[in-house]
A and B are shown apart, each in its own frame.
Chain A
Amino acid sequence: GENVEQHPSTLSVQEGDSAVIKCTYSDSASNYFPWYKQELGKRPQLIIDIRSNVGEKKDQRIAVTLNKTAKHFSLHITETQPEDSAVYFCAAPRTGTASKLTFGTGTRLQVTL
């Protein structure tokens, strides 16, 4: 099955700096990669996703890049703000069961003033 590794587990940045979170996956057939943001006590919320036919996707201060050859994808947050503080999860589908997602272990992002 799919194995998703996520790094770092914690990340602290100053307000205004950029944050990068990386995930690797094992199944070369995986073709959909969503990112979720989970604030304390709240539900995971989809913030951006990318499909394997593109290498990069942007939405305002958030971008995701995909390297299919190396089997890794990254979340980039620019001009970070305190409200970006949360746990971020990457995910990738499991082979043969495209509906199922394997989630990374999460990155706790802390944006300090």
Chain B
Amino acid sequence: DAGVIQSPRHEVTEMGQEVTLRCKPISGHNSLFWYRQTMMRGLELLIYFNNNVPIDDSGMPEDRFSAKMPNASFSTLKIQPSEPRDSAVYFCASSLKGGNQPQHFGDGTRLSIL
């Protein structure tokens, strides 16, 4: 039973470059969440989707961040242009739709912007 799959696991790039993080949710799950984790700010929700539709992007820090979910089995989080302060671990999670459903996390992408 495959869990949430994220790629890449690690990304190191120079500031100003475009970064694309990818996520494949658990099959059958129709809610998908993007989180960012840093020591200073903890685990922050950036955006979430229900049935491929963005429901709440209030956590997206600024216009440099964008997320898409073109189909039920794939989502991307893009940062353009990237900045050193974007360095963090980015997690994707998925769940069944509706309240009170467990969220299952992927292994995360460790992003370093030099």
- A residues sitting closer than 8 Å to B (CB atoms) are 31-32, 34, 36, 42-46, 49, 51, 89, 93, 97-101, 103, 105-106
Contact = CB atoms under 8 A, between A and B. Distances in A.
Interface of B: 31, 33, 42-43, 45, 48, 50, 55-56, 91, 95, 97-108
Contact of B106 (A43, A51, A89): A43
Nearest to B103: A101
Contacts of A100: 45, 48, 56
A44 B98 contact: no
Given A42-B107, A43-B91, A44-B91, A99 B101 contact: yes
A98 B96 CA distance: 12
B107 A46 contact: no
Contacts of B56: 97, 100
B104 A46 contact: yes
Contacts of A89: 43
Nearest to A6: B42
Contacts of B98: 98-99
A105 B42 contact: yes
A31 B91 contact: no
Q: Which are the 6 A-B pairs with shortest beta-carbon distances?
A: A98-B99, A32-B100, A43-B105, A103-B43, A44-B105, A43-B107
B32 to A, nearest CB: 10
Contacts of B43: 44, 89, 103, 106
